[in-house]
């Protein structure tokens, strides 16, 4: 359905001409983006003609899908006002800013936290469904460059004159509580408040690895940010406590982004990552900022922007030379290798992998590695190296590294184990071992059925696509049947 306007939408017509998109082409792109979010849309060239010539405004998520479709063609974000649809159902461009001022940075982050809950309360995916498909890798350019130029704020002390109250403990499970009466009063923040946020982040990391980003325990992270972290950011604290507070909140915000990424909510993940990087800058925590940039790099690479993925990983490396531990530098080089491999640059990927392995060998038990890097060991290096060689179509190397990656216990890192099995299945298939490919695929489907991870499901889908030439084989038919409930489950 559409709403009537009085005048033609010349802005939309002009931007369509600039992008070189026909009416039929825009309708097709909007329908496709809607389908990615489970929406059944049937727009055609006549629909687009009405939007332009008669100024009709489509309702629901459509205006944001239109902006996303045009933005993808232009290679940059397209705000609604640029295409004459700013009066459509609002979806604020919240979370995309990387303010220079620390006060504005706090405002930007806390607005994002509040928006997430409001979106999910509205039902049907809320604000993130309205923003379907609006990921734009160009939105990372300003945050990355500003962080590189100035990776730390000079001071984050915040002294609020309002009556002070004591901060409350973060909740990481169960229904979110509403802010108590007097929540507008400032909170005096202490190290104990920060410790509770860090504990929440540690719990969330374990849940995410074991159950996937879509598990209900993992989904409590946005609630923790809104109910617990936001009042603390708006509270009163010294520079020392403030740095620690921003660091803990940056960890939680990056986790929220990672979980959104794992569940296919790319637009939400992008906003969380940008705010996490800004908070890491306020914390003066350069390694943590590098970790956020590495997460951005993985997302960009996963979305098909491998060159930008290289840039983001190298930004993480550049600022951390001489600062980060050997294990941390190894991880950053590994993420760089992932992007090079996706871009098809075997030489650069091999060089980065060699450097990552060298840094890892130099790491020692007594090093002061950050707590958020606890997942990273040689088996994780081997798993990512296997994915690099999968992208480079080198099955022998994939098999070698996958065997090493699968040699460790899997109770804690269930999702990672499932992904490794799928990579192993692809390598076996490319080596001509259909039986082994189906066996690994079957085990992967069993693991995928125990977690909530859209990314794992996509890996399974890719494996089945690769098996299509062998579709009449009983083993392949059985695997496809086993995977049917997983692929049919709602995203």
Per-residue pLDDT of the chain (491 residues; tens, 9 = 90+): 455 556 899 999 999 999 999 999 999 998 887 776 556 788 999 999 999 998 888 876 678 789 888 988 887 778 778 898 866 544 557 899 999 999 999 999 999 998 754 444 333 344 555 554 467 899 999 999 999 999 999 999 998 764 444 454 454 433 333 333 333 456 899 999 999 999 999 988 888 877 776 654 556 788 889 889 999 999 999 999 999 999 999 999 999 999 989 888 888 899 999 999 999 999 999 999 999 999 999 999 999 999 999 999 999 999 999 999 999 999 999 999 999 999 999 999 999 999 999 999 999 988 999 999 999 999 999 999 999 999 999 999 999 999 888 876 666 778 888 898 999 999 999 999 999 999 999 999 998 888 888 888 999 999 999 999 999 999 999 999 999 988 886 54
- Is 9 within a domain? yes
Query: Is 21 among the domain residues?
Result: yes
How far is residue 342's CA from residue 138's CA, in Å, rounded to a whole number?
A: 18
Q: Tell me, what DSSP letter sits at residue 181?
A: T
The secondary structure of residue 140, as a DSSP letter, is G
Answer whether residue 67 is part of any domain. Answer: yes
Q: Is residue 45 part of a domain?
A: yes
Contact (Cβ atoms closer than 8 angstroms) between residue 151 and residue 281 = yes
Give the model's pLDDT for residue 144.
97
Distance CA 363, CA 145 (A): 29
How many folded domains does the chain comprise?
A: 1
Instruction: Assess if residue 8 is contained within a domain.
Output: yes
Q: Is 148 helix (H, G, I), strand (E, B) or coil?
A: helix
Cα(219)–Cα(306) distance, integer angstroms: 28
Find the radius of gyration of the CA atoms of the chain.
23
Strand partners, 3: 57
> What is the CATH number for 67?
1.10.260
Return all residues near 215 (Cβ < 8 A) that are at least 6 apart: 207, 208, 451, 452
Q: What is the pLDDT of residue 409?
A: 61
Is 168 among the domain residues?
Answer: no
Examine residue 303 and state whether it is found in any structural domain, yes or no: no
Query: Domain of 32?
Result: 2-83
Is residue 179 exposed (0-12), middle (13-18) or buried (19+ Cβ within 10 Å)? middle
CA separation for the pair 40, 321 (Å, rounded): 49
**Would 319 be classed as within a structural domain?**
no
Identify each DSSP E strand in 130-231 by its residue range: 164-166, 186-188
pLDDT of residue 39: 63
Task: Name the burial class of residue 37, with classes exposed (0-12), middle (13-18) and buried (19+) by CB atoms within 10 angstroms of its CB.
Answer: buried
What is the pTM (predicted TM-score) of this model?
Answer: 0.77
Residues 388, 344 contacting (CB under 8 angstroms): no
Instruction: Give dist(CA 273, CA 292) in Å, integer.
Output: 6
């Amino acid at each position: 359905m559409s709403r009537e306007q009085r005048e033609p939408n010349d802005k939309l017509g002009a931007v369509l001409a600039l992008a070189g998109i026909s009416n039929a082409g825009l309708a097709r792109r909007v329908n496709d983006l809607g389908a990615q979010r489970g929406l059944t849309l049937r727009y055609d060239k006549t629909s687009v003609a009405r939007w332009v010539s008669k100024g009709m405004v489509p309702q629901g998520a459509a205006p944001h899908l239109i902006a996303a479709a045009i933005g993808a063609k232009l290679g940059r974000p397209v705000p609604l006002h640029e295409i004459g649809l700013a009066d459509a159902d609002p979806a604020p461009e919240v979370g995309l800013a990387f303010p220079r001022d620390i006060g504005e940075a706090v405002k930007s982050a806390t607005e994002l936290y509040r928006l997430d809950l409001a979106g999910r309360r509205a039902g049907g995916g809320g604000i993130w469904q309205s923003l379907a498909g609006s990921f734009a890798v160009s939105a990372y350019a300003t945050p990355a460059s500003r962080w590189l130029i100035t990776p730390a704020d000079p001071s984050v002390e915040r002294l609020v004159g309002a009556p002070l109250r004591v901060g409350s403990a973060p909740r990481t499970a169960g229904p979110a509580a509403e802010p108590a009466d007097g929540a507008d009063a400032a909170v005096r923040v202490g190290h104990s408040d920060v410790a509770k946020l860090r504990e929440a982040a540690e719990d969330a990391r374990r849940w995410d690895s074991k159950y996937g980003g879509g598990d209900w325990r993992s989904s409590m992270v946005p609630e923790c940010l809104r109910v617990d972290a936001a009042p603390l950011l708006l509270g009163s604290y010294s520079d020392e406590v403030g740095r620690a507070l921003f660091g803990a909140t940056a960890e939680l915000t990056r986790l929220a982004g990672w979980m959104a990424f794992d569940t296919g909510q790319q637009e939400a993940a992008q906003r969380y990552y940008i705010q996490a990087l800004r908070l890491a800058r306020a914390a003066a925590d350069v390694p943590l900022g590098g970790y956020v940039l590495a997460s951005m790099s993985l997302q960009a690479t996963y979305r098909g922007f491998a060159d930008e993925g290289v840039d983001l990983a190298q930004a993480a490396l550049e600022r951390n030379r001489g600062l980060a531990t050997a294990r941390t530098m190894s991880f950053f080089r590994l993420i760089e290798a992932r992007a090079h491999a996706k871009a098809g640059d075997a030489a650069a990927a091999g060089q980065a992998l060699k450097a990552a392995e060298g840094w890892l060998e130099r790491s020692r038990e007594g090093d002061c590695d950050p707590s958020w890097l606890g997942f990273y060991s040689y088996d994780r290096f081997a798993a990512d190296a296997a994915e690099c060689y999968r992208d480079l179509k080198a099955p022998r190397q994939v098999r070698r590294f996958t065997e090493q990656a699968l040699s460790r216990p899997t109770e804690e890192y269930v999702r990672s184990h499932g992904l490794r099995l799928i990579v192993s299945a692809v390598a076996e298939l490319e080596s001509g071992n259909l039986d082994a490919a189906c066996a690994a695929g079957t085990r992967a489907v069993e693991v995928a059925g125990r977690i909530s991870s859209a990314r794992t499901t996509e890996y399974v889908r890719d494996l089945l696509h690769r098996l299509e030439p062998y579709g009449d084989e009983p083993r392949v038919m059985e695997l496809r049947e086993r995977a049917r409930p997983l692929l049919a489950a709602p995203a």
